[in-house]
Amino acid sequence: MADVGLGSPFPAVLPPPVWFSPQTPGDPARRRVRELAALSKRLQQVHPNVLAKVLKQETLYQNEEIVAINKPYGLPVHGGPGIKNCIADVLPILAKMLENMKAEPLHLCHRLDKETTGVMVLARNKEVADRIRLLFKTRQVEKIYWAISLGDPDPAEGIVEIPIVEKEVRSHQSHYKMTLAPNYRLSPEDGKVVKIRKNRNAEIAVTRYRRLATSSACSLLELQPITGVKHQIRVHLAYGLGCPILGDHKYSHWSKLAPQKLPEITLKRLKLEQSKARHLPLHLHAHRLSLPLGQRIDLVCKPPPFFQKTLQKLELDIANE
């Protein structure tokens, strides 16, 4: 990220970024945009062996069946257009680093968004991977996320159960987003609740949430997605509860792609100008994963330094957690 006082999202194994040099010429706003682009580019230029070494250092747990890692910020799980480096591509190298040169490549069991940090499980062989994927599919894996949200959900604890569908946003910059597809709406004539025909493409989505702390116009939330729809937590918080995740520039507005608008108190605590808000990283972290593999395996991962620094600056106290 640009230097907004939130700490680097990258592990210490990578060399210091060159774009923090104070000699960078030009207009400050343009310079920050270049810095942000350079960070993404640098991640894609790291040698696969270096990336595998980063993931090895982020190992949380391993046994004869699984390896659990702490997924870094900004690293895609799968490849795609414009992506040179992703977790899937370095799994053979990581397996050899963890075991030996003849080790079978590790297997993906689930996915996290590029910007999401935290617990990620890899399987040592295909059979174990298939078992774990089935556990996810049949909702036997307990997933607990932490997120810093803008605003305070009302009520402070509850369950959001609203289907989600992908739609095209038609604007000067057309793009696709996940959004809510409620089963009911208010009649414009008399304001009565009317059941509407279910959208065939919508997926059932259920998210349990609980507020852990609130301060500085923000909240720290504990989230348990019961289902696993794409961008479910982000959409349920932004559109269901009206509390988008801090740094979620995609779901803070529906009709446009624009930086998130932050309250004055939040900007003050973060020592940040609104013009720099576009550089805020997404504050969504996979905190705990509980796997029923014979015995139940509980995997817990602390939030990354930038997340912890934001908690401190916003005075969101989680001392009791």
Give the C-alpha separation, 52 to 54, whole Å: 5
Choose the catalytic residue: 3, 27, 89, 113: 113
| Contact between 287 and 300 (Cβ < 8 Å) | yes
Residue written as tokens 């779901």?
251
Q: How far is CA 192 from the centre of its chain?
A: 37
Which residue type does 58 have? Answer: E
Q: Is 113 a catalytic residue?
A: yes
Q: At what angle do helices 87-98 and 48-57 cross, to 10 degrees?
A: 60
C-alpha dist (Å) from residue 87 to 42, 45, 114, 289? 15, 14, 10, 19
Please name the amino acid found at residue 123. A
User: In terms of DSSP bridges, do strands 295-300 and 284-293 run parallel, antiparallel, or are they unpaired?
Assistant: antiparallel
Residues labelled catalytic: 113
